[in-house]
Amino acid sequence: MSEVFLKDALVTLKESGVRITPQRHAILEFLISSETHPTADEIYKALEADFPNMSVATVYNNLRVFRNAGLVKELTYGDSSSRFDFVTHDHYHIICDVCGRIVDFHHPGLEEVEHLASHVTGFKVNSHRLEVYGTCPECAS
């Protein structure tokens, strides 16, 4: 399944005029296969053995390219480090207050909430983000 996501993402980048470098390919592949919403530094550390000339700045720059192409969401939380999530569908996050682990969970969309918020406030709603906080099973035991 992740091969389909990778192929589609590469097509999206090519259609956006983005050249596919080995580093971009590796970063994208890492993001697609990751279940942890990694930071740029975590991506860099995971790939540095395969790309010794790649810097953390290269990772950040490529993540920005992916974000601008709509392939990646940048998630910012209280610890001031951005985490990156490969976007394939609408989903929400539950975050451990103890270790910071982020887990995806699926729930029907909140379009009704967006509509109500728009109606009550007069705002034109562009998007929403739902985060649920708690203690993961590992930290709870």
What does DSSP assign to residue 60?
H
Query: 75 near 93, Cβ under 8 Å?
Result: yes
Q: What is the pLDDT of residues 117-130, one digit of tens each?
A: 999 999 999 888 88
Dist. CA 78–CA 5, nearest whole Å:
30
Question: Is there a binding annotation on residue 139?
Answer: yes
Question: Is there a binding annotation on residue 115?
Answer: no
Q: In the structure encoding, which two tokens stand for residue 101, read together?
A: 């682990």
Where do you find CATH 3.30.1490.190 in the chain? Answer: 92-140
According to the model, what pLDDT value does residue 75 have? 86
Q: Which CATH architecture has domain 2-86?
A: Orthogonal Bundle (1.10)
Where do you find CATH 1.10.10.10 in the chain? Answer: 2-86
Question: Is there a binding annotation on residue 29?
Answer: no
Beta carbons within 10 angstroms of residue 126's beta carbon: 6
Question: Is there a binding annotation on residue 131?
Answer: no
Question: Is there a binding annotation on residue 128?
Answer: yes
Q: What is the pLDDT of residues 81-106, one digit of tens each?
A: 788 998 767 788 898 999 888 888 88
CATH topology classification for 92-140:
Dna Ligase; domain 1 (3.30.1490)
